[in-house]
Structure 1
Amino acid sequence: MVVVAVGLALAAIVEQAVMPPSPRHPVADRRPVHAGRSHTSRPVVSRPSSSRAPVSPAVQLSRQVETVALAERSRVARRDYGVGTLSAPIVRLSRMDRARTWAFGTETIPPPRGKTVMPESSLYVAQRTRAGWQVALAGTPRFTTLLRKAPASVVPAAERPVLEKFSAAADAPLDTGLMLPWGVGQSWTLLATDDGVSGFDGGDGRVLAPGDGRIYRLCSSAAGHGLVLLIHPNGLATQYYQLSDVTKVRDGAFVKRGDYLGRTGTEQPCGGGEAPQRMVRFAIGDATGPMRLDHFQLGGWTVRETAAATFAERAGVRVDAGNPLLNFGAVPASPAPSPSKSPSPGRTPKPGSPSVRVPNVPLPGGSPDAGV
C-alpha cells in the first residue's frame, strides 16, 4: 500500500509538470495575434458591411445635382466670380414623389466670400433609374424631356408650359410688359452693380412682382433671406437677390403683378457674405442666365447698359445710376434694338452722375408726380 501511494503521488507530480494549466476563459474568447503586433496590441475589430447606414435617395440626388451643376455651369460661374475654384452647389429639393423616383428643385453655385454678384443658379428635374439619378438642368433639351415625363406630384400641369418656355431660351422681348419691381408712382434709386444686374433701393423697401408669374426660391436662409426667381408667362424670368423677409408662398405658386416678394437687404445667403449696401439685385434672363439689360423696357423706361455706365431713358430724359427712378407701371416705351446675352467687358459704372429731373410727368391714369 505504501508503494502504491508513493506511485500515485509521483504520477500526479509528473502530470502537473507536463500538462499546461487550464485557461481562465473559453477558447472561443481568444483573439488572434496579428503579424507585426505584440501580445499587448489592441486587436483590430472588423465591422460587417451591413452596419453601414444606406445612403438615402435624397442624399444621392443632392450629390448628383452637385456633379452635374459643376460640370455644366462651372465655366460661367468662374468667369462671373473671377475665381478658379468653386464651392459645392447649394441644392434645394422642392418636391419628390412617394416612390422617390422623381424630383424637382433648384441649385445655386455660391459666390466666394466678399463677392457681391448675382449667384449662378438653375432649376433641375431628375429621374432615378437603375443606373442612379439622371439630372437635367433648365436650358437643356433633357430638361424638357424629363419635364414632360415627370408625374404631376412633382411637376404640376399648370407649371409645365411656363417651365418649358423658360428652358427653351427663346429671344426675349424688349418690351417686357413689366413694371419696375416696386410700387407704381414711387421713386427708387438706380444703383450700378455687376454686368447684367441692376440694384434698386428706396421707399419702404418692399419688392413687388413686376408682372404675373410662377415663383421659385433658389436658395434661402432660416431667417427668410434669399434668391427668388419669377418666371413670366412668355418664358422670360426676373431674379431678385439680397431679399429679406421673403414671401412664404410655395414654390411654383402663381403670383400677380404687385404681389409682395420680399424687402431690400444686405444679406447674401447664397454666398458672398454681407453686402455693403442695402438693395435688391435685379436681373432679367432665361434658363441660360441673366442677359445684358441694355434696351430692355421696364416701368415706362428703356434701361441702357454700356461699358461706361448704366442708366434709364424715357422721352429724351436720362436718369443715371445714383439718382431716383420713377416707376410708371407696366407701360410701353419706345422700340429699341435687340439685347445681347454677352456681358459688357471692362464696364466702369459711374454712380452719382448728374441726371435730368423729370418735371410733372403724368402717372398712368392720373396726376403728375412732382417728386421725381
Structure 2
Amino acid sequence: MARRDDGHASRINTHAAPWARAPERPSPRAGAARGRRPEEPQWPEGSWWSEQPGWDERGRRRRREPTRRDVRRRERDRTRRRQQRARRSAFRTEPPPAARRRDPARGSGRRPPARPRPGPKATPRRPRLPTDRIGVGALVLSAVVGLSLLGIAERTLLDGRPIGTTESVASGKGLRHPKGHATAAPGAPHRPAQRPGASGAPAAPARPDAQALTAQVRKATLAQRGAAARLAYGAAPARAPIVAATRTSDDGTWVFGTTAVPVPPGSDADPEIAFFAARWTGREWRIGLSGATAFGTLLGAMPATVMSASEARALRRYGALSAGQAAAAVNGTGPGDGLMLPWKTGTSWTMLTAGPASGRRPLSALAFAGGDGRVLASGAGRLYRFCGDGPGPALLMVVHASGVATTYDRVRSAAQLRDGSVVGRGDPLGRTGTVGACGGAPADRAEVRFDLRRGAAPVPLDGAVIGGWTFSERAKPLLGFAERGLLQVLPGGLIANLGAVPAADPPPSSPAPGGAPDAGAGPAGDPSPSATQNRSPSGANTQQ
C-alpha cells in the first residue's frame, strides 16, 4: 500500500510523518547510534519528494572544510589550555605513595569521579585566630588608650618631670624629684616649667667643644710664636701646631696642656713650645699661653682637682719670668737652681754646637753625645712632655724653682711619669736618640739637645753656669765654647760633668817669700784636679 503524502512542499514546514524523524548527529561514543532507524524512508515515484535531494540534508548548513587559519587557531587554543592545566597542576600537592588509595571505579568499567578544579577555593583555609574576632569597638578603644598615654607623656615632659615619676594623688606621698627640681607643696597650683629658649627663660649653656679649643689654641700659637718660629727655622712651618690637652676637669670646662710649632724637615733648630690654660665660659673658650698675662690669671683660678696650688705657682713663675731675671738665675748673679750637665757626674761627653754655616748663634743648638747614653735631670723641678705621649721620641721639660726650665730633646725611652711629676737632680729621664719629637732634621748620632727656656722665649746660654762650666760665645770667629778658669772646651771636645759646683776654681796659694815653689803649687805647678783636656776636632790634645 502506498504511503499517503500528507506533507506540504515547504522548506520551513515539511509536514513529514511523525515517524519520519531526522537522524541524530553522529557521536563517537558507542551507545550514540542506539534508536536510529535501520532503513531510510521510501518516497513514491513521481512525487515531489523523490525529486528533492536527500531528506537528511534538508535544513542543514553545508559543512565547509577547515582552513589553515582555523587549524592554527585550534592548535593555539589547545596549547593555551595545556599550559593552563600545567600551571594549575604545579600548585597541587600530591599525597605520598602510601596515602594513595585505589580508585574503586578504576577497572570496573565505570567512569572515575571528576577531580575538583584547582583554584583559590582549593587552598586549605587557615585556622581562625583570636585577632580575627577583634571588632570595631576594640580598635576604637585601643586608639583612645594610645592617644591618652601620648598626652600624659607630653604633659610630663612639658612640666619638666621625668616620665614614670607620676603617682596617685590619693596615696598622699611626696614625689622624689631629681636634683634641681623642687617638690611642690600639696594643694599649691602647679606651674609648668618653661622650656629653654622660650620667651623670658634663659637658654641652656652650650657644652664645651674640644675641637673648637684645639683650633683656638693653634690660632693663638701661630699668632704669638709664629714669627719666632719662622726666624729660628728659616722657613714657615709646614704643619699645624701640635696641641695636647694633658689635664681636663670633670665637667670639661677647665683644660691644661701643651702646644708646639713643628720644625720643618730640613731644619735642626729647637722647636717653639708653650703651655696653655683654657676655661669654658659657657659660650666660648678663654685661653692663655705661657708668657702672657692671661696664662697666670687662668692658673690662679684653676680648680685644685686639675692642678695643685704649688704646681700652679711654679708655672706662673715660669710664665712671668723676664729675660733679666732668667739671666741672673743662670749666670750666678742671682739665686739659681744649681744645675748640672744632663748625664752622670764625673764622666765626660762630647759637646756639639751649631756650625758657622747655619748662620745662627753657636749655643742655640747645644747638644751632648757619648757616655752611657743615659739622660739625667739637671736639677729638681716638675716634668712635662711635648709633642705626644707615645713610645716614640720625646721633648721633655723640667721647670725649676727659679722659673727657669731646662729642655731635653731627641730623648727615646722617656720616663713614663705623669705630667707635672716632681723629679730630683740626677733622676733618669731617658736615653739619647737621633730623631726630634717635634720634627726637624735627624742627627748623625745619638745625642741629647739641651736648652734653657722661660715662659715667653728661650734663655740664651751665653754666660750660663751649668755643671761647673761657664758657656760663652765669641763673634770673631763665630764660636761657642765652655770654660772653667783657665780651661776651655771647644765644639767637638770632651767636657766633664762636675755637678752642681761653682764655675770658678779657688785662687792658687802664694808661695812663701824666698822659698822654692813646691811641686803642684803656684802658677808653674800642675793643673788642679778639676782641669780637663780640651780635645779639638782635629784630635790634638792641649792642656789648658
Residue number in structure 1 paired with 2:344: 183
Deviation at 1:249, TM superposition (A): 0.9
Segments of 5+ residues of structure 2 without an aligned counterpart are 1-205, 355-359, 506-525, 536-544
- Whose radius of gyration is greater, 1 or 2? 2
Deviation at 1:55, TM superposition (A): 9.7
**CA contact under 8 A between 1:209 and 1:256: conserved in structure 2?**
yes
Deviation at 1:319, TM superposition (A): 0.6
Q: Does 1:99 align with 2:269?
A: no
One-letter amino acid of the structure 2 residue matched with residue 362 of structure 1? P
Shift of the 150–323 alpha-carbon distance from structure 1 to 2, 3 Å rule, reads same
One-letter amino acid of the structure 1 residue matched with residue 367 of structure 2? G
**CA contact under 8 A between 1:361 and 1:369: conserved in structure 2?**
no
Which of the residues 295, 298, 308 maps onto 1:156? Answer: 308
What is the aligned-residue identity percentage? 40
Aligned length, in residue pairs: 292
Q: Does 1:324 align with 2:467?
A: no
Structure with more relative contact order (C-alpha pairs < 8 Å, separation 6 or more):
1
Deviation by residue 1:205-226 (Cα, 9 ceiling, x = unmatched): 1110111011110113633311
- Return the alpha-carbon distance in structure 1 between the equivalents of residues 389 and 441 of structure 2: 12
- Return the alpha-carbon distance in structure 1 between the equivalents of residues 270 and 533 of structure 2: 34
- Return the alpha-carbon distance in structure 2 between the equivalents of residues 360 and 247 of structure 1: 39
TM-score normalised according to structure 1 size: 0.74
| SS of structure 1 residue aligned to 2:396 | strand
Q: Does 1:302 align with 2:463?
A: no
Shift of the 162–189 alpha-carbon distance from structure 1 to 2, 3 Å rule, reads same
Q: Does 1:315 align with 2:485?
A: yes
Segments of 5+ residues of structure 1 without an aligned counterpart are 1-53, 336-358
Which of the residues 440, 443, 450 maps onto 1:282? Answer: 450
One-letter amino acid of the structure 2 residue matched with residue 107 of structure 1? T
Deviation at 1:269, TM superposition (A): 2.4
**CA contact under 8 A between 1:360 and 1:370: conserved in structure 2?**
no
- Return the alpha-carbon distance in structure 1 between the equivalents of residues 220 and 246 of structure 2: 18
- Return the alpha-carbon distance in structure 2 between the equivalents of residues 332 and 242 of structure 1: 28
Query: What are the within-5 Å matches in structure 2 for residues 49-60 of structure 1?
Result: 57-60=209-212
- Return the alpha-carbon distance in structure 1 between the equivalents of residues 480 and 247 of structure 2: 39
| SS of structure 1 residue aligned to 2:304 | coil
Shift of the 85–241 alpha-carbon distance from structure 1 to 2, 3 Å rule, reads closer
Q: Does 1:129 align with 2:281?
A: yes
Residue number in structure 2 paired with 1:272: 440
Which of the residues 207, 210, 226 maps onto 2:375? Answer: 207
Shift of the 85–108 alpha-carbon distance from structure 1 to 2, 3 Å rule, reads closer
- Return the alpha-carbon distance in structure 2 between the equivalents of residues 219 and 144 of structure 1: 23
Which of the residues 406, 410, 416 maps onto 1:248? Answer: 416
Deviation at 1:187, TM superposition (A): 0.2
Residue number in structure 1 paired with 2:431: 263
- Return the alpha-carbon distance in structure 2 between the equivalents of residues 83 and 157 of structure 1: 40
Which of the residues 206, 221, 225 maps onto 2:393? Answer: 225
Shift of the 257–134 alpha-carbon distance from structure 1 to 2, 3 Å rule, reads same
One-letter amino acid of the structure 2 residue matched with residue 319 of structure 1? V
Residue number in structure 2 paired with 1:36: none
Shift of the 70–102 alpha-carbon distance from structure 1 to 2, 3 Å rule, reads same
- Return the alpha-carbon distance in structure 2 between the equivalents of residues 120 and 83 of structure 1: 13
Residues 282-291 or 169-178, more deviating:
169-178
- Return the alpha-carbon distance in structure 2 between the equivalents of residues 161 and 56 of structure 1: 26
**CA contact under 8 A between 1:182 and 1:206: conserved in structure 2?**
yes
Which structure has the highest helix share of the two?
A: 2
Residue number in structure 1 paired with 2:529: 362
- Return the alpha-carbon distance in structure 1 between the equivalents of residues 312 and 461 of structure 2: 27
Deviation at 1:273, TM superposition (A): 4.7
Deviation at 1:153, TM superposition (A): 2.0
Residue number in structure 2 paired with 1:68: 220
- Return the alpha-carbon distance in structure 2 between the equivalents of residues 334 and 360 of structure 1: 14
| SS of structure 2 residue aligned to 1:303 | strand
- Return the alpha-carbon distance in structure 2 between the equivalents of residues 168 and 288 of structure 1: 8
Residue number in structure 1 paired with 2:128: none
| SS of structure 1 residue aligned to 2:229 | helix
One-letter amino acid of the structure 1 residue matched with residue 397 of structure 2? L
Deviation at 1:277, TM superposition (A): 3.1
- Return the alpha-carbon distance in structure 1 between the equivalents of residues 266 and 419 of structure 2: 29
| SS of structure 2 residue aligned to 1:121 | strand
One-letter amino acid of the structure 2 residue matched with residue 222 of structure 1? G
**CA contact under 8 A between 2:392 and 2:437: conserved in structure 1?**
no
**CA contact under 8 A between 2:367 and 2:450: conserved in structure 1?**
yes
Residue number in structure 2 paired with 1:4: none
Q: CA RMSD in A?
A: 2.3
**CA contact under 8 A between 1:162 and 1:233: conserved in structure 2?**
yes
Residue number in structure 1 paired with 2:89: none
Residues 146-155 or 94-103, more deviating:
146-155
